[in-house]
Structure 1
Amino acid sequence: MQDFAELSVLLVDPNQSMRTSLRNMLNQAGIVRIDDAVSSGTAIRQIAKKTYDLVLCEYDLSGGSDNGQDGQQLLEDLRNHALIGRWTIFIMLTSEGVYGKVVSAAELLPNDYILKPFTVEVLLQRINRAVGKRSAFLPVYQLLDQQLVRDAIAEAGAAEANHPRLSTDFARLRAELHFGLGEMAEAELIYHTILAGRPIGWAHLGLARCQFALQRFEEAQATLDKLLAQNPKYMAAYDLLARTHEALGQANQAKKVLEDAVAISPHMVSRLRHLGAVAYETGDIGVAEKAFKQVVAKAKYSEFRDPEDHVNLVKTLVKKGDANQASSVIRDLERSLRGNSNTEVCRAISAALLMDMSGQVNQAAKELGNAVAAVTQAKGLSNQLRLGLVDSCLKHRLDKDAADVVIDMMNDDSGGLSMEEAVGVFEKAGRHDIAREVGEQINQHVDELLESAASALAEGDHRAAVAALSIALRKKPSNLPVLYATIGAMLRQLDELGWEAPLGEQAGMLLDRLRRIDGANPEFDKLEQQFAGTQRKFGISTTA
């Protein structure tokens, strides 16, 4: 048994006697750095302030009532909002007899889950196993923390020989890292190699993800169908299969897949959102209403409630013609999400939908104006919601408001639109006049950014040049002059100011993009040779 004295542990359980029992069990192994949390909310606040090695979480955090989140929903929040990383071990504790809930917990990939009652020996054995595995992966995790992804891939490859029992796990990590770098061929080869040895669910899923990313949708569908035939409880496969059907234009099949998944595992909020959206698009308002109501109810006690869930429910109820329920949902949005930076946008959009339904066109236009005014203060709004706002503004002839929202989306670093996408929004709506005006504004801004970058380079300010060009590239990702200029500025910075791993990774990825679209150009060869020369200059390995 390993020495656990330095482990920091968070116990998440509403029952004081159970926390005391767990604390006594841990103390027997010399673990004394233990904190308590009585609910998902207190757990999230604790984890936001402090990093824990181990989280022991009770599944039923509400004591059997419907008040509050359960352990599965807590884990979903922690994963989705990146509050726990690869270092943190999360073990679910449950006596839950409802199989659907157990599946929901298991599919979120806790490091382990233990059925109660259990002995101290069982608990310590599971902790020992999880800590041992984490120790083997620590060198790779440390490289990833430094954003040295290619070095991490190489380290994981070497570790496969040093830890034969974990060789498949290291291969899986290498595949995931290649996938994250956009190197689908490398990731796909690893998955094929694993599957040649034995059929493993996650390898089939990884292969399907590569096929999907490469837009080989029929192949992805065949891979996922085979996986689900072998393992009909592999929940993540349903989610990707639904997305694959959507990519193939098969929305009704996507809805059926999601309905099947929810029937097996009914507590995953993100899947319920997806089901609601697909059902709405296919015109199945009954299923959409049920799904969005469940989303709003299940997210009620989350620290990360999203007011967009209320908009989706209001939109569905308006489509159904149920003004009373829609009004009730808007009141709940105003009351329960007061203080959220996105609430005013979502309230105004919802109110506009309801007013349009009742024929109050002028009031609806006024609320759309309120929504547009609030967009710039909001954080993390989905593109779907903002594009829906643009569409509503165009229908009400609020052309300037529509253009302002699109320009704001283009300036959003977290997931904005490119020039082609922005112009396409208005072209699709048949508003060629606005498309032309927006295109001219974007071109003017990009020209200003290029001039700013040129001035910065002339003054030797490489970082400012790269920053300006990166913004220009986000606006025009397919523009060859901007792409060449951005890569060139990055390579000059790396050569003259020293190697920085994140910038080096970014330059390499942009070179890969340039190779695909302009690889025959001699200017590309010059950049590639310059990149290789800079790597050699600073002793950077060029092997993955």
Structure 2
Amino acid sequence: MLRDFVKYMGVHQIDTANSGRDAISHLSSSRYDIVICDFNLGQGPNGQQVLEEAKMRNLVGVSTIWVMVTAEKTPDMVMGAAETRPDDYLLKPINQVLLQSRIEKLLARKQSLGVIEASIRSQDYAAAIAHCDKLLQSQAVNPQEVLRIKSDLLLTVGDDASARELFEVVLAQRNVSWAKTGLGKVLFNSADYEGAALLFSQVLTDNPMYIEAADWLAKSYQAMGNMVMAQQVLLEATKLSPNSPMRQKALGDVAYRNGELDVAKTAFEKTIKIGEFSAHKSPAAYARLADVLSDSNEAMEALHVLKRSKADFRFNPIAALQTATVESRVYQKMGQSDMARAALANAEQLANQLGSQLSADLMIDLAKSHLQLGDKHKAFQLLGEVVKNNHENAELSGEVEHLLVREHLAEEGHALIEASRKEVIDINNQGVLFAKQGDFQQGLKLLRSAVKRLPSSEVMIVNLCGLLIAQMSKEGYREILAAEVRDLLNRVHAINPSNKKYFSYTQVLAKMQRGA
């Protein structure tokens, strides 16, 4: 019926999909101007999950029109659909006049955004921001949408000062939830967690349904170490909008850390259930649920959950590592030390195979298992590497400290964290000193050695990029150094796709190459 409506409107290039997976397949192979998507797509991902995955994988851009169609009016569905931010959603029954009217309005609003999307796809964010400015100067028909796109771009490239200015200009005219939330993100990025929390709280007071602000408020409380308030915020948010697997997992993680095993169990079970066909389906939820069950003296049920994880993620080495790591703890709790050590040996083998792909969370998880089996030396070695590779990440350091406090190693843990941080800070300071003195060779030697020892240190890799760029700025462009920078930037992007320096250094390097 919808296909025929669109045909009558004069559209000739039309594809149809009979399931969520089919829709994702079409979106992966073709670019679409308009997507009309039912919420209920039968077995597999629903319309909300299709849109989530399409956005996460950049299969749709700012100029694509996405219309959600549904017969459901439940609060859960409405909130979930609103969170994924389709351009419109229509309640059935639908007739051609209604559909055509809505799409014509959306086309008028969206047709000017194509040039911005093209620049975003080529990662030319400076050009995308410039196109936003041109549209705003020409009195675009959709100024709020263009301002929002521009603010997202500014945050992406790390220009927090310009983003802050934009948000303040918008807020001076009227109280807008997205702008106040954006200003809160700027404060969060500058480690002003109290100021950020205040703004996010104000957004929720004015607009309780603006759930993004609740997610950021919980993050702010976590950054301040207030896990009780973080859990309360997430509990309220999941009551309003329960169908986000990421939010349910965040609630489970915080509740588990707070010792609220019943809350954590419910949250992780919901994460697994609603994430079954989601792009956010994660083996970590299974692992954490198994931890909760084990701590609740339900060891056999914990092993059953891990068996499900093995089946669902059978070709995923990270999932295999998580499963083996938690298995070792479950078996140890059951008094089966031989099985525990065998599982941990398997986890170690998988960790060695992953190499630089081993995340901080996985390293902390491994350390926890080593501590439970009495291998404090290996655990401290892993935790020291976590802190060194992420010495500016207060949240991760907090996790390390929390683990060691729970294991009655608070004093030794504090000393480990401080010593690990100091080692990295001293190296960085020495590298900066060499750069200021113009001794690039000594600086590069120092930082290259540090990156070799700390291959997952986002800060160290970025600093090495900065030093190489500084040398080329002074001495001239050299392709061999530029190639090294590109390789390093790719590593940074793999560690953290939203790293601010990645985008700015990519632009600087491109300008250098054009000027060479």
Q: Secondary structure at the match of 2:11?
A: coil
Find the aligned partners of 2:379 and 2:239 in 1 and give their Cα distance: 40
Residue 485 of structure 1: which of 451, 459, 467 is its match? 467
Q: Deviations over 1:318-338 (max 9, x none)?
A: 121112321221222223332
Find the aligned partners of 1:84 and 1:470 in 2 and give their Cα distance: 39
Residue 354 of structure 1: which of 325, 330, 333 is its match? 330
Match of 1:148 in 2: 124
Contact 1:44 / 1:303 at 8 angstroms: preserved in 2? no
Match of 1:44 in 2: 24
Cα distance 1:383–1:436, how it changes in 2: closer, same or farther (>3 A)?
closer
Q: Deviations over 1:353-402 (max 9, x none)?
A: 21122122232122112112113555976532332112322443557865
Q: CA deviation at 1:292?
A: 0.4
Find the aligned partners of 1:282 and 1:481 in 2 and give their Cα distance: 36
Residue 368 of structure 2: which of 372, 387, 391 is its match? 391
Q: Secondary structure at the match of 1:90?
A: strand
Contact 1:221 / 1:241 at 8 angstroms: preserved in 2? yes
* Equivalent position amino acid for 1:255 in 2: Q
Q: Secondary structure at the match of 1:55?
A: strand
* Equivalent position amino acid for 2:365 in 1: G
Structure 1 unaligned regions, length at least 5? 1-20, 411-415, 448-456, 459-463, 511-530
* Equivalent position amino acid for 1:125 in 2: S
Matched, 1:417 2:389: yes
Matched, 1:29 2:9: yes
**How many pairs does the alignment contain?**
467
Contact 1:104 / 1:267 at 8 angstroms: preserved in 2? yes
Contact 2:40 / 2:70 at 8 angstroms: preserved in 1? yes
Q: Deviations over 1:155-186 (max 9, x none)?
A: 21121021343223222222222212222221
Q: CA deviation at 1:404?
A: 8.4
Q: Secondary structure at the match of 2:15?
A: strand
Match of 1:368 in 2: 344
Q: Secondary structure at the match of 1:69?
A: coil
Find the aligned partners of 2:294 and 2:122 in 1 and give their Cα distance: 49
* Equivalent position amino acid for 1:262 in 2: T
Q: Deviations over 1:239-265 (max 9, x none)?
A: 111111212222111111111111111
Contact 2:364 / 2:386 at 8 angstroms: preserved in 1? no
Q: Secondary structure at the match of 2:317?
A: coil
Find the aligned partners of 2:76 and 2:217 in 1 and give their Cα distance: 20
Find the aligned partners of 1:143 and 1:469 in 2 and give their Cα distance: 37
Match of 1:74 in 2: 50
Q: Deviations over 1:215-242 (max 9, x none)?
A: 2222222212221121111111111111
Match of 1:168 in 2: 144
Contact 2:116 / 2:128 at 8 angstroms: preserved in 1? yes
* Equivalent position amino acid for 1:53 in 2: D
Task: Kindly report which structure 2 residues correspond to 1:444-463, keeping only aligned pairs within 5 A, or say none.
Answer: none
Match of 2:33 in 1: 53
Q: CA deviation at 1:293?
A: 0.4
Find the aligned partners of 2:471 and 2:3 in 1 and give their Cα distance: 55
Cα distance 1:436–1:474, how it changes in 2: closer, same or farther (>3 A)?
same
Task: Kindly report which structure 2 residues correspond to 1:444-523, keeping only aligned pairs within 5 A, or say none.
Answer: 475=457, 477=459, 482=464, 485-491=467-473, 495=477
Task: Kindly report which structure 2 residues correspond to 1:80-99, keeping only aligned pairs within 5 A, or say none.
Answer: 80-99=56-75
* Equivalent position amino acid for 1:153 in 2: I
Cα distance 1:188–1:327, how it changes in 2: closer, same or farther (>3 A)?
same
Q: Secondary structure at the match of 1:232?
A: coil
Cα distance 1:96–1:538, how it changes in 2: closer, same or farther (>3 A)?
same
Residue 293 of structure 2: which of 308, 317, 320 is its match? 317
Q: Deviations over 1:467-504 (max 9, x none)?
A: 96995696483699957632324537974569x9xx79
Find the aligned partners of 1:394 and 1:236 in 2 and give their Cα distance: 37
Match of 1:178 in 2: 154
Q: Identical aligned pairs, as a percentage?
A: 25
Contact 2:120 / 2:128 at 8 angstroms: preserved in 1? yes
Find the aligned partners of 2:463 and 2:201 in 1 and give their Cα distance: 43
Residue 205 of structure 2: which of 222, 229, 242 is its match? 229
Matched, 1:261 2:241: no
Residue 283 of structure 1: which of 234, 253, 259 is its match? 259
Q: CA RMSD in A?
A: 4.2
TM-score, scaled to structure 2? 0.78
Match of 1:5 in 2: none
Contact 1:58 / 1:71 at 8 angstroms: preserved in 2? yes
* Equivalent position amino acid for 1:186 in 2: S
Q: Decide which moves more: 398-407 or 137-146.
A: 398-407
Q: Decide which moves more: 351-360 or 42-51.
A: 42-51
TM-score, scaled to structure 1? 0.74
Task: Kindly report which structure 2 residues correspond to 1:434-445, keeping only aligned pairs within 5 A, or say none.
Answer: none
Find the aligned partners of 2:345 and 2:448 in 1 and give their Cα distance: 31
Q: Decide which moves more: 379-388 or 169-178.
A: 379-388
Contact 1:92 / 1:113 at 8 angstroms: preserved in 2? yes
Q: Secondary structure at the match of 2:289?
A: helix
Q: CA deviation at 1:147?
A: 2.1
Q: Secondary structure at the match of 2:104?
A: helix
Match of 2:437 in 1: none
* Equivalent position amino acid for 1:391 in 2: K
Structure 2 unaligned regions, length at least 5? 431-439, 493-506
Matched, 1:251 2:205: no
Q: Secondary structure at the match of 2:141?
A: helix
Q: Secondary structure at the match of 2:66?
A: strand
Q: Deviations over 1:414-442 (max 9, x none)?
A: xx93478899769966378999999999x
Cα distance 1:269–1:147, how it changes in 2: closer, same or farther (>3 A)?
same
Q: Secondary structure at the match of 2:249?
A: helix
Contact 1:330 / 1:351 at 8 angstroms: preserved in 2? yes
Contact 2:39 / 2:70 at 8 angstroms: preserved in 1? yes
Match of 2:307 in 1: 331
Q: Secondary structure at the match of 2:36?
A: strand
Name the structure with the higher helix share: 2
Residue 110 of structure 1: which of 65, 83, 86 is its match? 86
* Equivalent position amino acid for 1:54 in 2: I
Cα distance 1:109–1:470, how it changes in 2: closer, same or farther (>3 A)?
farther
Q: Secondary structure at the match of 1:342?
A: helix
Match of 2:171 in 1: 195
Q: Secondary structure at the match of 2:14?
A: strand
Find the aligned partners of 2:382 and 2:284 in 1 and give their Cα distance: 17
Find the aligned partners of 1:434 and 1:229 in 2 and give their Cα distance: 38
* Equivalent position amino acid for 1:47 in 2: L
Contact 1:58 / 1:94 at 8 angstroms: preserved in 2? yes
